[in-house]
A = this chain, B = another copy of it.
Amino acid sequence: MTKNKDSVVFIGKKPFMNYVTGVVMQFNSGVKEVTVKARGKYISRAVDVAEVVRKRFVQDTDIKEIKIDSEEFQGDDGKNVRISTIEILLSK
């Protein structure tokens, strides 16, 4: 399956409904799969976005796959910092 590059929504600190609307608009434009991605503390929010989309806005949406991972890098203080990531693949 070809993955449309546009069908990724990164979750950050903007108002919550911006992200919900972003995902809904992708689906309305004809995209069949949208990936909701987030890092660190925004992971909880990514789950909220996916749930609100699928339960309130696009009701024939399935959660096709969920991946979690983590990246380790050196922080400003020289210590290793680990940050977790999530990818939630929503499919219509």
- The answer to the question of A31 belonging to the interface, with a C-beta cut-off of 8 Å to chain B, is no
B-chain residues with CB within 8 Å of residue A70 when the two chains form the complex = 48, 51-52, 55
Complex CA distance for A50 and B84, rounded to whole angstroms: 9
Interface residues on chain A, size class: 20 to 34
Select one of B43, B67, B72 contacting A43, CB under 8 A: B43
Does A86 lie within 8 Å of B47, measured CB to CB? Answer: yes
User: Which B residue's beta carbon lies closest to that of A85?
Assistant: B47
State whether the Cβ of A41 lies closer than 8 Å to any Cβ in chain B. Answer: yes
Nearest CB on B from A4, distance (A): 22
Q: Is A32 an interface residue (CB 8 A)?
A: no
Residues on A lying within 8 angstroms of B by beta carbon are: 40-44, 47-48, 50-52, 55, 63, 66-70, 72, 82, 84, 86, 88
